[in-house]
Amino acid sequence: MKLANTSPEANIYADIAGKLAIVLFFSFGAKQKVLTVVALVASSSMETVQRCLHVIAESSALVFILLVIATTLFRHRPLSAADGLEPWLSALTGTFLAGTLALLPSAEIPLPLILLAAGMSAVGGILSACVLLWLGRSFSIGAQARKLVRSGPYAIVRHPLYIAEEFIVVGMLLLVFSPLALVIAVVHWAFQVRRMIHEEKVLSAAYPDYVNYAARTPRLIPRLRPLRRSRA
């Protein structure tokens, strides 16, 4: 994979266009989440525990979306980015494909599974918001190098945001479980893995110390031993 080699002016215009697209898309998503939370609060057709879990899940997702908008508006300019179409297609597919699960009909599952699904979505939303808050102005959807973050959740694994988001995906999958839903989830995860690979290549090229960081920090599964303190 090559790194993009364009003029500073082209990088600035591309970054502005990317910001505009992300802000517009997620602003629409934020509006939908607000309407969903209001409808859930007013609903009387759910068990109290179920409704509370769904409200927490949707509210945490709303906070995450608002953080995406804020970090996108004020993020660092990219130092480098993956070149070519495939890294961007992988990033966009990995980001948005799982959202199509919400369009599928609900599955007939028992209440305990419904509560588990809502609970996983709530945990995933809260964790995603916390990780994104830590990542801050280094956030990007595509494979880009903005600033190397190695502390906090990034001292435990190299891709904590993806792990947090998968709690939400699994929660959604349980609610609409079917062969089609399972295929969507598997394809989504395959593209997420491609995103990780592209991001690691970009960061390795931009930051010489990334190789050492990657050697001592697992990609996804934390090591069951005390972690040394890392610098951001």
Fill in the DSSP letter of residue 82. Answer: B
Q: What is the pLDDT of residues 167-222, one digit of tens each?
A: 999 999 999 999 999 999 999 999 999 999 999 999 999 999 999 999 999 999 88
Each domain of the chain, given as residue ranges in start order, spans 8-216
Chain Cα centroid distance, residue 70: 15
SS3 3: strand
| pLDDT, tens digit (0-9, with 9 covering 90-100), for 57-70 | 889 888 989 988 98
The set of residues, in sequence order, having a beta carbon less than 8 Å from that of 31 and lying 6+ positions away, is none
pLDDT tens figures, 2-21: 455 445 555 566 667 777 88
Q: State the DSSP H helix or E strand holding residue 46, giving kind and residue range, or none if neither.
A: none
Contact between 166 and 98 under an 8 Å Cβ cutoff? The reply is no
Amino acid, single-letter form, for residue 13: Y
- Number of Cβ within 10 Å of residue 133's Cβ equals 15
Q: Which fold has domain 8-216?
A: Four Helix Bundle (Hemerythrin (Met), subunit A) (1.20.120)
CA atoms within 13 A on the CB side of 126: 11
Round to whole Å and give the CA distance between 164 and 159: 9
Cross-strand partners of 145: 80
Q: How many other CB atoms sit within 10 Å of the CB of residue 119?
A: 18
Whole-prediction pTM: 0.82
